[in-house]
Structure 1
Amino acid sequence: MSDRPGRPGRPRRPRSVTASLAQIVLAFEFVVVALSTLVVFGLRALPAGLSLVGGGVLLVLIVIAAGLATRRAGIALGWAVQVLFVAGVVLNLGVGIVGLIFGALWTYSMIVGGRIDRRNAAA
């Protein structure tokens, strides 16, 4: 019996705390990266096309990482997104600082989420 109404099949596996936290952080990061892209574009830190395409690529990577957050590949891609966002310090100091904040939030979420998931698995 499925827990989704109207769709027969096997029940969904409960989502881990790590995956939930990853998706939450990436959702907020999506908005911030979109705004950071506009900042880099507006300050002309890069040519217009490059800043918009680069920001767009990072946004696509965030969406893919959020979609795959239940798998190891999604978490690994999330780490790559954090590194790329922190690398934005070469474009603008403010972007790099915000990238560091999100990198710290991501790290904390992965550590605490993993701890909670291990405790739940042991119980």
Structure 2
Amino acid sequence: MTEPRMRAPRRQRSATESLLSIALLLEAILVFFVTITVFGLKVLPAGLAFGGGAVLVVILLLDGRLVRYPFGVWLGWVLQVVLIAVGLLVPLMYFVGALFLAIWIYCFVTGRRLDRRNAHLRSETTTTTTEESP
């Protein structure tokens, strides 16, 4: 019989990474519906509407995996501006894009605060454990 393979432990995701990736996933879903709206209102030709929408959805989903790196977070900020700029096609997107920018800022600030708190708690636990050792 063969031995079962030991799996490597999963990488611990930070709170910032988790929250920002959720925000980007929600934005990708939003862009899907905006793409259909842009096509339905005949703002752009079908190929351009669906092609541009698909590219933006893929970039948003990809960035959801990249927010673990600093450049991924910066790309997320750029994508927030792009989302607001879609207001040039559908004016309601100025409001919706600003709303998602507020969600992004909230997730960024809250995630950083939670990560600092968790790091502090881990350091206290490590210090307490080290002090108790003989």
Please give the range of the TM-score, normalised by the shorter of the 2 chains. 0.7 to 0.9
RMSD: 1.6
The CA deviation at 1:12 is 2.8
**Which stretch shows the higher mean deviation, 17-26 or 40-49?**
40-49
**Separation (CA, whole Å) in 1 of partners of 2:102 and 2:36:** 23
Match of 1:53 in 2: 51
**Separation (CA, whole Å) in 2 of partners of 1:54 and 1:96:** 18
**Separation (CA, whole Å) in 1 of partners of 2:76 and 2:6:** 32
41, 44, 63: which one pairs with 1:43?
41
Q: Secondary structure at the match of 1:44?
A: coil
Larger Rg: 2
**Separation (CA, whole Å) in 2 of partners of 1:49 and 1:12:** 40
Give the counterpart letter for 2:11 in structure 1.
R
The CA deviation at 1:23 is 1.4
Unpaired runs of 5+ residues, structure 2, are: 122-134
The CA deviation at 1:11 is 2.5
Q: How many residues align?
A: 118
The CA deviation at 1:47 is 2.2
Percent identity reads 42
The CA deviation at 1:14 is 1.5
Contact kept, 8 Å, 1:64 with 1:74, in 2: the verdict is no
Q: Secondary structure at the match of 1:46?
A: coil
TM-score (ref. length: structure 1) = 0.86
**Separation (CA, whole Å) in 1 of partners of 2:69 and 2:26:** 20
Contact kept, 8 Å, 1:65 with 1:77, in 2: the verdict is yes
**Aligned structure 1 segments of 4 or more residues deviating by more than 3 angstroms:** none
Paired residues for 1:69-84 under 5 Å: 69-84=67-82
Contact kept, 8 Å, 1:19 with 1:69, in 2: the verdict is yes
Give the counterpart letter for 1:71 in structure 2.
Y
The CA deviation at 1:9 is 5.2
Q: 1:100 to 1:118 in 2, by over 3 A?
A: same
Contact kept, 8 Å, 1:17 with 1:117, in 2: the verdict is yes
